[in-house]
Structures are given as C-alpha cells and as structure tokens.
Amino acid sequence: MSFSLDSFQLDGIITGKIIKLEPTGVLVDFDTDELAFVPLVELSFAEIQSPEEALQLNEIREFLVVGNYDGEHDIFFSHCSPETLKDSHRLYEVALDLASKKCGHPISREYLIVHTKIRAVHGGGVSARIQWFLCSQEHPPTVSFSIRKLEMRTAWERVRQLQAEDVTVYGKILKKIRQGAIVKIEGLQGLIRTYVDKHREELVVGEELPLKIIKVEEEFNNGLLLIHRSVSIRLRQLQVGQVVSGTIRRIKDYGVFVDIGDLYALLPTSKMIFSSFDHPNQAFKVNDYLKVMIIKLDAENGRVVLENCGSAA
C-alpha cells in the first residue's frame, strides 16, 4: 500500500514495527491509520527468499521514504549551483517539458511536483536527477517505504568514506569482462580496471584481491571503479618527466604497452622516435627493453602515457 506524499518527507527515515510476515512481504505499523505493505524486494539489500531472512515479528526497523515517481531524468544544468537550481523556473521548465513528452500532452506546472537529487557539482554547473510526480484528484502523488534503499544509501556512504581514507578493500571476482573484472564491495558492484594491470591474465573468478577505490559514481551501474593495490602504489611512485625502463608486453596499431613494474603504460605511435613504419610491430617486438619518459599521469583512472627515449643500455 502506498501513502500520500503530504504525510511524509521524501528521502526521510521513518521507524516502523513489523506486524505481520507474509510470503511476499511484511505489514508495518508506522503509527498511521493504516498498515503499510512493504514487498519482499524492499526488505534487504542482500538477496533474500523470505522476509524471515531479514526481519522478525514485532521488530522495530528504520525505513527510507521513497517517492513513487511518475518519471525521472538525469540532466546537466550549466552555469548553475545547487542553491540556485532549487525551485528555479529553469528547473520547472525542463521538468515540464520532460513530463509532457512522456505523457504525450502538455502538463501544467500546478499539476507537477518536482524533486531533485544533486549528483555532482562541476565548475560549469550541476549534474542532477529530476524526479517528478503528476498530481490531481484522480492521481494523487504517493510514497512507499524501503529498507533496501536505506541500506544501499549506507553502503554508498561507507565506500565514499573508504575512498577518502584510502583504505585497502578486498573484493571477490564475480566475473571477468572485456574492460576488467566485476567485484562486490560493501554489497555494491564495482569494476576493476585492468587494462594497465600486468596481472590481468592471471585473474581468477572467485579470487579475492586487495584493491583501492579510485572513483565512486553512484549514478552508474558499475558505480565503483577500482584498481589493484599494487598498481595504486606504483602509480604514486611516478611523476611526469620521470624516465623509467620497461619491457614491451603488447603491441597494438595505436602503440605499445610497456611493463614498468606492476602496471602497463602506453607508448602511443605518435610519441615514438621511429616514424617510417605502418605498424609499431615493424619497429618493436614483444620483450624489447626500452627507456621511456612519462608525459602524462592520470592516477585517478590508472593511466600512464609515455614518450620514447630510445633503447635502454
């Protein structure tokens, strides 16, 4: 059962008592006139098959108040701040346009309630998620309740703290994909970027790895971006302009990957001394030993770009 929007605060936390356990969910007393039904899928961030795996009868639990939105959209507002965006005419113009397109007919502002979530603040503006309710006597806006989303919110806060404190986390590889490997950290799915990791071929599904969180992006499916701890340590030892020696491990048409210790750095074709060749394999071979200079270092994304200095002695 959903409840009227005007009775609760969106994204607020409310306490309720578990009154009845049913196969598909639970009935909760929020000290309102009616009991609220919370479905099984909203009872835990973990995968459960029955309410008893997450809750007990008469238990007091916290729930997140969730809006039953009629639509949502992520958008970037240029030349804007979170403060100026709130209740601005520009915000409502965008929301009205999006809602009207989705409904297939014009929507008046008096029938629209807009809720925004700030995703990121950039130098040039604000990335936000617009969520809207269409309100009328026939279609009053409603809310429901979720433990799962409250636990998910806590998990995101936890990984942001772990990133800020530069904590080593341990993730078990769930599967390997072209871009790297998928793991779970604090119950959240993350992507290990392995295109610079010299040990990528050795990754095994089920293996647990020491990792560093390099980016937390809640709005994306693979919202956690991670790299192996040894790669993170090596990146911090490097600086632009530094000359390093390494061994060629891969040759591509756009350049060669050089093993400079715990990671592979890219020597692009445009930065090679040799110019009279159609493909880098005409000038280099796997296991060739090179002396190279670092010209670009992106520790956040684990990228190192090199310039050719000639063969090492």
Contact call for residues 152 and 166 (beta carbons, < 8 A): no
pLDDT digits (tens, 9 = 90+) for 144-153: 999 999 999 9
Task: Single out the residue of 162, 172, 182 nearest to residue 210, CA to CA.
Answer: 172
Domain ranges of the chain: 3-67+146-150, 71-140, 168-233, 239-311
Q: Does domain 3-67+146-150 fall into CATH 3.30.300.30? A: no
Burial of 261 (0-12, 13-18, 19+ CB in 10 A): middle
Classify domain 168-233 at the CATH class level: mainly beta
Counted residue by residue, the chain has a size of 313
Q: What is the pLDDT of residue 33?
A: 86
Phi, psi of 184 (to 5 degrees): -125, 130
Q: How many CB atoms lie within 10 A of CB 284?
A: 20
Max avg pLDDT among 27-41, 112-126, 247-261, 285-299: 27-41
The overall average pLDDT reported for the chain is 87
List the CATH code of the domain at 239-311: 2.40.50.140
Q: Which residue has the higher pLDDT, 204 or 50?
A: 50
Instruction: Reply yes or no on whether the pLDDT at 243 is more than 60.
Output: yes
> 98: pLDDT confidence band, cut at 50, 70 and 90?
very high
